[in-house]
């Protein structure tokens, strides 16, 4: 779409001053970035971006990712102008309680926002996942060119490129040849502290070229340069290189006193400066939030122009038949087969009965899940032999060949989690990513955003305790499980045997729009006698593994400590104790099931409670009560064989029995 001057300038001023007025009214926000990027954004939305505001989730739409999420009013203004369900009243309620225009874009709140951004580096990394999803979708329909050929555009700031995760993601994008990824770098030379040269002297062009990107430089306020660069980047789609357009922009562009100043970054311009800026642009000071009719018509005409692309795609989908139609339906709207749980448990029963590590058991069960769910994809951070998550019978995803289901992320845990968020937010796939539990610390920002954004992302963590042994405290996770449980909406599942591993995978795959962490052992565990338990009780999060009618106490355990609880309970019987054993792979899931489910498993019946978990004990006090006994690990561990560590930390049958007896005797005396 071509827009002649001076109408183009009027459109750009509209974009700028919607942002300025929104921030000014809220008395909070970042006006400088939208002012500096209005020219870029206008050219992108009117020349290349394909979208349909009447069908915001159109699977083959182009994606626009504002990685510099602090400039959110730029995106909100564009969504309003392009016809999405974001009325002017919402722009006027920027950053207010329950508005659809929060301080940073959130995909589950605002229609048209592709992914939640704000923490710098996450948006551009999500965009890599979206671009990868596009390539993988297209590869599944080689006979139907154009069925999935969307591009992913975006704007990143200097802060995005400073964050380490963007380095990891840019390397992955170049390695995989994601040429459907086109980003602007808002090179405005200003950060919150002042000039970027205070902390940054990278040559972004050389860096991205070394990653395998096609890089151009433009003046971000010269329309002809922007158009030529965009045209060139789009022409490179299909040639194996993602694109970066380094745009020299001016933060607060047009502000007489705050252009090129950090003062326009995170604060309103102020009433007087707004008036001066509008005067300099020839823009009326009142009314605020002005959108001239001729500007509205530009964007309405663009939306009408794009209808042809949308209709052509619908015709392509309508023409699909047979297996292609079946696969397209499955990918566009993934659904869990109704008999998945039965098939996973059938496999688990084949595996039950002999000692085995849960990482090995879960890996074999995952193969059944992958066979039944063609939308399940993922990989590991260079740890396939240890995590056992490689999907058998499917090739690896490689540059130019995206038909496989196994993604090799390399030693890039931070990017893996965030790229998978990009896969998760794209219709077509439910991703998983695997690594050692200790390295969940590298992934935590993306895990938190998956929970906040309500993304179905499965995090598979192995080597889940001090019992990984000789690698020592640097690799022994003691606080990670407890800290992950603190993230709202994330559910952490720590299974104890084959059947619980099946329940864990069933739970994660059935849990649409929410992330799940499956936490698995390195060491082999003794099998449990739980074959008669209803599988749904396990999926629900916790169940009574042993339930004597005359129980005198309760032991609650997870993962590798469930077998320990069984062994200790048998020994305690000789002392007259009758132990109810609760296996609790995910107590939070049980709580989600409701009060009746909780009371069925853990009624408030006054029985003394003991918790067993090879990790921090502080969170368990809420479960066992102030008088309860928590057995676990409250320091960083040691480098030693697992059996020696069990002895040191009292995680043997003899040690548990001794502690429980002493605790019970002390309680009896106090009464």
- Indicate if the pLDDT at residue 147 is higher than 60: yes
276 and 387 housed in the same domain: no
**Angle in degrees, CA 99, 192, 196, rounded to 5:** 135
pLDDT at position 427 is 83
Asked if residue 516 lies in contact with residue 507, where contact means CB atoms within 8 angstroms, the answer is yes
Asked if residue 301 lies in contact with residue 47, where contact means CB atoms within 8 angstroms, the answer is no
Q: Please give the share of the chain, as a percent, with pLDDT higher than 90.
A: 98
Instruction: Please report whether residue 1 resides in a domain.
Output: no
262 and 383 housed in the same domain: no
pLDDT digits (tens, 9 = 90+) for 27-47: 999 999 999 999 999 999 999
Instruction: Report the alpha-carbon distance of residue 98 to residue 102 in Å, rounded.
Output: 8
pLDDT at position 613 is 98
Q: Kindly name the residue from 163, 168, 413, 500 that is annotated as catalytic.
A: 413
Strand 152-157's sheet: what is its strand order?
63-66, 152-157, 181-187, 243-248, 214-219
pTM for this entry: 0.97
**What's the farthest any 2 CA atoms get from each other in the chain?**
91
260 and 363 housed in the same domain: no
450 and 584 housed in the same domain: no
519 and 551 housed in the same domain: no
Instruction: Report the alpha-carbon distance of residue 465 to residue 523 in Å, rounded.
Output: 10
pLDDT digits (tens, 9 = 90+) for 84-109: 999 999 999 999 999 999 999 999 99
pLDDT digits (tens, 9 = 90+) for 489-547: 999 999 999 999 999 999 999 999 999 999 999 999 999 999 999 999 999 999 999 99
Phi, psi of 519 (to 5 degrees): -115, 125
pLDDT at position 670 is 62
Give buried/exposed letters for 588-605 (b at 16+ CB in 10 A, else e).
bbbeebeeebbebbbeee
Instruction: Please report whether residue 23 resides in a domain.
Output: yes
Instruction: Report the alpha-carbon distance of residue 228 to residue 244 in Å, rounded.
Output: 13
Instruction: Please report whether residue 151 resides in a domain.
Output: yes
- Indicate if the pLDDT at residue 671 is higher than 90: no
646 and 519 housed in the same domain: no
Residue among 272, 271, 282 at smallest CA distance from 24: 271
270 and 360 housed in the same domain: no
**Angle in degrees, CA 434, 435, 437, rounded to 5:** 115
Asked if residue 420 lies in contact with residue 457, where contact means CB atoms within 8 angstroms, the answer is yes
**Cα–Cα distance list, 320 to 147, 261, 314, 327 (Å):** 10, 55, 10, 10
Q: Supply the CATH number for residue 620's domain.
A: 3.40.50.920
560 and 514 housed in the same domain: no
Instruction: Please report whether residue 224 resides in a domain.
Output: yes
pLDDT at position 489 is 98
Residue among 316, 511, 329, 311 at smallest CA distance from 428: 329
Given 257, 284, 305, the domain boundary residue is: 305
3-state secondary structure 99-135: CCCCCCCCCCCCCCCCCCCCCCCHHHHHHHHHHHHHH
Span 342-364, average pLDDT: 97
517 and 401 housed in the same domain: yes
Q: Please give the share of the chain, as a percent, with pLDDT higher than 70.
A: 99
Active-site annotation holds for 413: yes
144 and 100 housed in the same domain: yes
Span 160-184, average pLDDT: 98
Where residue 669 falls among pLDDT bands split at 50, 70, 90?
low
**Cα–Cα distance list, 421 to 140, 156, 617 (Å):** 21, 17, 31
Residue among 339, 338, 335, 343 at smallest CA distance from 502: 343
566 and 608 housed in the same domain: yes
The total number of structural domains in the chain stands at: 3
Instruction: Please report whether residue 322 resides in a domain.
Output: no
Instruction: Please report whether residue 656 resides in a domain.
Output: yes
- Indicate if the pLDDT at residue 598 is higher than 60: yes
Give the CA count within 13 Å in the CB-facing half-sphere of 246: 17
Q: Supply the CATH number for residue 89's domain.
A: 3.40.50.970
pLDDT digits (tens, 9 = 90+) for 58-78: 999 999 999 999 999 999 999
Q: Which residues constitute the domain of residue 201?
A: 7-305
Asked if residue 581 lies in contact with residue 545, where contact means CB atoms within 8 angstroms, the answer is yes
pLDDT at position 667 is 80
Q: What is the mean pLDDT of the chain?
A: 97
Instruction: Please report whether residue 311 resides in a domain.
Output: no
- Indicate if the pLDDT at residue 385 is higher than 90: yes
Given 467, 500, 525, the domain boundary residue is: 525
pLDDT at position 120 is 98
Task: Identify the H or E element spanning 568.
Answer: helix 560-573
Q: Return the sign of the alpha-carbon dihedral for residues 459, 462, 466, 469.
A: negative
pLDDT at position 1 is 86
DSSP 194-235: EEGGGT----HHHHHHHTT-EEEEEETT-HHHHHHHHHHHHH
Asked if residue 556 lies in contact with residue 611, where contact means CB atoms within 8 angstroms, the answer is yes
Structure tokens at 515: 């992330």
DSSP 150-168: --EEEEEEHHHHHSHHHHH
Strand partners, 478: none
Instruction: Please report whether residue 532 resides in a domain.
Output: no
Residue among 438, 435, 519, 436 at smallest CA distance from 477: 438
518 and 586 housed in the same domain: no
Strand bridging mode 458-462 / 516-519: parallel
Residue with tokens 């994330």: 490
Phi, psi of 79 (to 5 degrees): -65, -40
Given 260, 285, 305, the domain boundary residue is: 305
């Amino acid at each position: 779409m071509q827009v002649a001057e001076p109408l183009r300038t009027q459109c750009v001023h509209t974009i700028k001053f919607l942002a300025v007025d929104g921030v000014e009214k809220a008395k909070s926000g970042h006006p400088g970035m939208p002012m500096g990027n209005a020219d870029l954004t206008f050219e992108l939305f009117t020349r290349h971006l394909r979208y349909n505001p009447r069908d915001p989730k159109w699977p083959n739409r182009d994606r626009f990712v504002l990685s510099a999420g602090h400039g959110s009013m730029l995106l909100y203004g564009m969504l309003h102008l392009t016809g999405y369900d974001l009325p002017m009243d919402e722009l006027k309620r920027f950053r207010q309680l329950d508005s659809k225009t929060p301080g940073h874009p959130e995909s589950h709140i605002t229609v048209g926002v592709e992914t939640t951004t704000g923490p710098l580096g996450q948006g551009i990394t999500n965009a890599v996942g979206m671009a990868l999803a596009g390539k993988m979708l297209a590869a599944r329909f080689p006979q139907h060119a154009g069925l999935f050929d969307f591009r992913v555009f975006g704007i990143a700031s200097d802060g995005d490129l400073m964050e380490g995760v963007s380095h990891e993601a840019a390397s992955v994008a170049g390695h995989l040849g994601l040429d459907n990824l086109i980003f602007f770098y808002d090179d405005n030379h200003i950060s919150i502290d002042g000039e970027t040269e205070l902390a940054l002297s990278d040559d972004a062009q050389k860096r991205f070229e070394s990653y395998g990107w096609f890089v151009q430089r433009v003046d971000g306020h010269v329309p002809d340069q922007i158009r030529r660069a965009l045209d060139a980047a789009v022409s490179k789609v299909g040639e194996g290189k993602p694109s970066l357009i380094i745009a020299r922009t001016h933060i607060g562009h047009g502000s007489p006193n705050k252009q090129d100043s950090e003062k326009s970054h995170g604060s309103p311009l102020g009433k007087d400066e707004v008036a001066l800026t509008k005067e300099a642009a020839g823009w009326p000071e009142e009314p605020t939030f002005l959108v001239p009719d001729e500007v509205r018509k530009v964007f309405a005409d663009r939306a009408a122009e794009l209808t042809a692309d949308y209709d052509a795609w619908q015709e392509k989908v309508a023409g699909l038949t047979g297996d292609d139609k079946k696969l397209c339906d499955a990918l566009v709207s993934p659904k869990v087969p109704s008999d998945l749980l039965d098939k996973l448990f059938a496999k688990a029963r084949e595996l039950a009965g002999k000692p085995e590590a849960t990482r090995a058991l879960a890996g074999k069960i995952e193969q059944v899940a992958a066979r039944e769910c063609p939308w399940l994809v993922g990989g590991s951070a260079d740890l396939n032999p240890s995590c056992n998550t490689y999907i058998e019978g499917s090739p690896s995803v490689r540059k130019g060949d995206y038909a496989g289901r196994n993604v090799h992320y390399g030693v890039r845990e931070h990017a893996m989690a965030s790229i998978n968020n990009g896969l998760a937010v794209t219709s077509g796939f439910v991703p998983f990513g695997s690594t050692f539990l200790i390295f969940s610390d590298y992934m935590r920002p993306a895990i938190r955003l998956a929970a906040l954004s309500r993304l179905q992302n499965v995090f598979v963590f192995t080597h889940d305790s001090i019992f990984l042994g000789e690698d020592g405290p640097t690799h022994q996770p003691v606080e990670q499980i407890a800290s992950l449980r603190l993230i709202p909406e994330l559910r952490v599942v720590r299974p104890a045997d084959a059947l619980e591993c099946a329940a864990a995978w069933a739970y994660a795959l059935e849990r649409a729009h929410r992330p799940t962490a499956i936490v698995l052992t390195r060491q082999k565990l003794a099998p449990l006698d739980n074959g008669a338990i209803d599988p749904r009780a396990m999926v629900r999060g916790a169940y009574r593994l042993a339930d004597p009618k005359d129980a005198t106490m309760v032991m609650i355990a997870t993962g590798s400590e469930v077998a320990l609880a069984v062994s200790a309970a048998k020994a305690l019987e000789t002392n007259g104790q009758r132990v109810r054993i609760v296996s609790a792979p995910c107590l939070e899931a049980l709580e989600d099931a409701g009060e009746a489910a909780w009371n069925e498993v853990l009624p408030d019946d006054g029985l003394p409670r003991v918790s067993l978990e090879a990790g921090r004990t502080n969170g368990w006090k809420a479960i066992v009560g102030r008088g309860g006994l928590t057995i676990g690990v409250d320091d960083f561990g040691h480098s030693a064989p697992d059996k020696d560590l069990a002895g040191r930390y009292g995680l043997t049958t003899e040690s548990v029995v001794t502690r429980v007896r002493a605790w019970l005797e002390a309680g009896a005396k106090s009464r």
